[in-house]
Amino acid sequence: MQTLQKSLPNMGCGTWAWGNQLLWGYDESMDDQLQAVFNLCVSNGVTLFDTGDSYGTGRLNGRSELLLGRFNREYVGSNQENICIATKLAAYPWRWTRQSMVKACRSSAQRLGRNVDLVQMHWSTANYAPWQEAQLLDGLADVYQQGLVKGVGLSNYGPKRLKQVQKKFAQRGVAISTLQVQYSLLSTYPVTQLHLKDVCDELGIKLIAYSPLALGLLTGKYSVGGSFPKGIRGLLFRQILPGVRSLLACLQEVAQSRNKTMSQVAINWCICKGTIPIPGAKNVEQARENIGALGWQLDAGEIAELDKAAASSDKKMVQNIFQTK
């Protein structure tokens, strides 16, 4: 556990969530491209990779873990010894015993071809099946106590549930290393309203920010009247973009003054807030741009401007339905 906790801050300068690109538009022709992304990240000191056993091609077959395991095995170069793989175990309705979580973790390790470093509960069932959660959490603690992982974490938990689980785990001598929530300039709710950063700091938990680019809305690639992605994502963009133009204008202004891209500023803002952002990257160009968010920091004035613009936006990102309070 101490080894993992000491290494996480070093990985916080930009990490990648490998599930997203495998859920949206993935096909096997991308494998070599994704290997190149992995290689570029690790060689630049980005060594934490986050995935989930539910991430795949829609068949719940752990495709993301299989690919990540292959990329890890085939990489040879600097920082190889620092690679840290985190996965999330889904709270499927057919997983309702503590042994099912242990089995799921072993299956993830088998797909990865190595032990998982950080295993996380993908979401809480408190909002719809509270009776299921106790056994799953016991299984998560079992995974750590059996030496299958270096640390455990949670995802989409609010402060009330987080404190309850922390107390439950503490009784077994198990510490929570990380909490993963949706957090960006368009999704400040977990920090500004739930005050999760304060709770995590109090409990010694690292806060991981997923979707730090708000599904791409903060990249500057989309505008009102322009082209949008297909499907639900496109519908969401059409609803949100008109109400966030002032925030995007502020983001663009800061980016131009810094000679950075809007994406780099949005990611750096998350870092300045003391979180570990995990933006997705499905090609080398995106990975290289994300890496450009490292090695510098926004100043207090720039952060205040972005905070003000974010708070005054008419629209926000839709919150994850599994997020608890």
Whether 55 sits among the annotated catalytic residues: the reply is yes
Q: What is the spatial distance between Cα 237 and Cα 214, in angstroms, rounded to a whole number?
A: 10
Catalytic residue, candidates 55, 144, 183, 210: 55
**Phi-psi group of 106: left, alpha or beta (phi > 0 → left; psi -120 to 50 → alpha; rest → beta):** alpha
C-alpha torsion sign, points 77, 30, 60, 211? positive
Q: Where are the beta strands (DSSP E) in 83-239?
A: 84-89, 118-121, 151-155, 176-182, 206-210
**Going by DSSP bridges, is the β-strand pair 276-278/118-121 parallel, antiparallel, or unpaired?**
unpaired
Amino acid at 279: P
- Within 149-244, residue ranges assigned H as helices are 159-170, 189-192, 196-203, 231-240
Query: How many residues are given for the chain?
Result: 325
Residue 181's beta-bridge partner residues?
A: 209
Active site members: 55
